[in-house]
A and B are shown apart, each in its own frame.
Chain A
């Protein structure tokens, strides 16, 4: 089975059913399937071959969904890049995976015009909006999405991939400061989607509201899983306007709502929400970061008919664990046990399996959902994919510390490294520090995470200005905004005269807060 079969099979079984609702547009399975076929044929005509990488640099919209499935049906590999990623990140990703094409909007056109010759592997660009006048991008072919779809054939293109071929690369932040491309085969993604839809008990009657970015695997899979089970996905761009999302939830009779702690904090802070009855909502999920136990209690009070699933996972294997809602009363702080078709265990510093309960160790994941590796990055891959039960297999060392109680339920303890989780997404302190160091006037910079009620952790930057430099907090934040995705921009900036160093000359972070 391939990921695009989720769409093709549902289109065969229930062609007339509305599969996707977004911004007033409603598309049936048949319509999406045909549009995806057209996209695939257009991409093939533009020279896309099996295994080629094609990037999608759009926010949550119908075109993003069509592009994902079009790229897959062409036998190629899709990447959804966060639309708030700035020029340097875009350039890094496109060059790192030698993407052949990019599908974007007028924002993308502007950035690509500026980058032009710096992305030599990019062969063509497809634009969702009208091309701005006088746009040229080096020697790259430029297409209008509407024209491409109008002229392409809607016949299903021939199947080219097998399940161990690559379906997607999802770039994720790492401690080194450069993102790593989590490379996922069709088998990885189908395995994960099958396990998750099994424990969530998804049915064709499910109507899933997704406000999470499709560049984030949690958001992406809402569409993949929704299509897999023949349900409906209601797609929103963000949770920026909570009341808009709530009226959509009621209007569309949403049955499933995936969120991160930030979203739940905002919901719990709204005045009139207690008066609303969400009678159709049957499940709510949380991952990305832990939900405070008090918030779990208040969410269950607010949505008494819905089952709340506390979960944990990482992009490298999609998801690891979930807590059956029946356990929430007894162990609200747990993220549960491993999902179906997967094994998890804890190891000590020497890599030995921990058999005694309540001993902290690193969580290791074994299963067909574990990624193939990081794209063309054997050193980083070797750090987390190690020999498993058999010499030919690889298991994933998560870098997260957990303990397991007597009944085998997992409790998150902390990260092995210093990755910050803000709004449920990974922020690499090193990546932010690199950007800070590029600001003239900055002598030293150190970035840490600090607890934040709404964000989980907030990004805090300590800056030592150069002699004579007159930097303000606003200058620093504006500079970061220009070079980082929005969730990576520091919330707090503190100026210091100096920062303590360790014996080896690195900045000592342990006494910063």
Chain B
């Protein structure tokens, strides 16, 4: 499964989207849309580390790396040095 799809599945399964049945796009900001909070981030990091076998450093816990499906995918690819399609 593509990286983006895996992430999307995790996020939709685990973070209810405010009771509002909008579809989640790859660009939607988790923070802006209230999808995630401080404990949610810890779960998300756990998922990323297990699923993609990367290690997330404390100082990589920033919105630029984690705040949307496309940002997470880009971060994972950078960590694993996978070229973007």
Q: How far, in whole Å, are A231 and B69 apart by their CA atoms in the complex? A: 38
Contact A84 B62 (CB under 8 A): no
Q: Tell me if A59 counts as interface (CB < 8 A to partner B).
A: yes
> Knowing A86-B18, A240-B41, A244-B63 touch, does A107 contact B58 (C-beta < 8 A)?
no
The residue in chain A whose Cβ has the minimal distance to the Cβ of B41 is: A240
Q: Tell me if A83 counts as interface (CB < 8 A to partner B).
A: yes
Within 8 A of B (CB), among A441-491: 455, 474, 478, 481-483, 486-487, 491
Cβ distance B22 to chain A, nearest Cβ, rounded Å:
7
Residues of A with C-beta under 8 A to B46:
none
Within 8 A of A (CB), among B1-44: 13-16, 18-22, 31, 33-34, 36-41
Q: Which of A59, A84, A239, A474 is B38 in contact with, Cβ under 8 Å? A: A239
Contact B15 A481 (CB under 8 A): yes
Q: Tell me if B50 counts as interface (CB < 8 A to partner A).
A: no
Contact A107 B38 (CB under 8 A): no
Q: Which of B13, B15, B22, B38 is A238 in contact with, Cβ under 8 Å? A: B38
Q: Tell me if B61 counts as interface (CB < 8 A to partner A).
A: yes
Q: Tell me if A18 counts as interface (CB < 8 A to partner B).
A: no
Q: Which of B16, B20, B34, B62 is A244 in contact with, Cβ under 8 Å? A: B62
Contact A238 B19 (CB under 8 A): no
Contact A241 B61 (CB under 8 A): yes
| Of A265-273, A278-286, A295-303, A304-312, the one with at least 4 CB within 8 A of chain B | A265-273
Q: How far, in whole Å, are A243 and B65 apart by their CA atoms in the complex? A: 12
Q: Tell me if A110 counts as interface (CB < 8 A to partner B).
A: yes
Contact A241 B62 (CB under 8 A): yes
> Knowing A240-B36, A241-B63 touch, does A270 contact B15 (C-beta < 8 A)?
no
Interface size on B, residues (CB 8 A): 24
Interface of A is mostly: helix
Q: How far, in whole Å, are A277 and B18 apart by their CA atoms in the complex? A: 38
Contact B37 A107 (CB under 8 A): no
Residues of B with C-beta under 8 A to A483:
19
- Count of CB-CB pairs between chains A and B under 8 Å: 63
Residues of B with C-beta under 8 A to A242:
58, 61
Q: How far, in whole Å, are A111 and B22 apart by their CA atoms in the complex? A: 11
Residues of A with C-beta under 8 A to B38:
238-240, 262, 266
Contact A272 B59 (CB under 8 A): yes
> Knowing A240-B36, A271-B58 touch, does A84 contact B31 (C-beta < 8 A)?
no
Q: How far, in whole Å, are A473 and B33 apart by their CA atoms in the complex? A: 25
Cβ distance B60 to chain A, nearest Cβ, rounded Å:
8
Residues of B with C-beta under 8 A to A481:
15-16
Q: How far, in whole Å, are A84 and B16 apart by their CA atoms in the complex? A: 11
Contact A237 B15 (CB under 8 A): no
Q: Tell me if A87 counts as interface (CB < 8 A to partner B).
A: yes
The residue in chain B whose Cβ has the minimal distance to the Cβ of A454 is: B39
Contact B62 A87 (CB under 8 A): no
The residue in chain B whose Cβ has the minimal distance to the Cβ of A244 is: B62
> Knowing A238-B31, A241-B61, A272-B58 touch, does A107 contact B36 (C-beta < 8 A)?
no
Q: How far, in whole Å, are A101 and B58 apart by their CA atoms in the complex? A: 42
Within 8 A of A (CB), among B52-85: 58-59, 61-63, 66
> Knowing A238-B31, A240-B31, A241-B62 touch, does A111 contact B37 (C-beta < 8 A)?
no
Contact A110 B22 (CB under 8 A): yes
> Knowing A107-B20, A110-B22 touch, does A240 contact B34 (C-beta < 8 A)?
no
- Residue contacts A-B, CB under 8 angstroms, 20 given: A83-B34, A110-B20, A110-B22, A111-B18, A238-B37, A239-B38, A240-B40, A241-B61, A241-B63, A242-B61, A243-B59, A243-B61, A243-B62, A244-B62, A272-B59, A455-B39, A481-B15, A486-B40, A487-B37, A491-B39
Q: Return the 9 tightest CB-CB contacts between A and B, nearest first.
A: A481-B16, A110-B20, A482-B16, A240-B38, A86-B19, A486-B37, A271-B58, A243-B59, A240-B41
Q: Measuring CB to CB, which residues of chain B are less than 8 angstroms from any residue of chain A?
A: 13-16, 18-22, 31, 33-34, 36-41, 58-59, 61-63, 66
Given contacts A240-B36, A486-B39, 5 further A-B pairs with CB under 8 A are A59-B34, A111-B19, A240-B31, A240-B37, A483-B19
Q: Measuring CB to CB, which residues of chain A are less than 8 angstroms from any residue of chain B?
A: 59, 83-84, 86-87, 107, 110-111, 237-244, 262, 266, 270-272, 455, 474, 478, 481-483, 486-487, 491
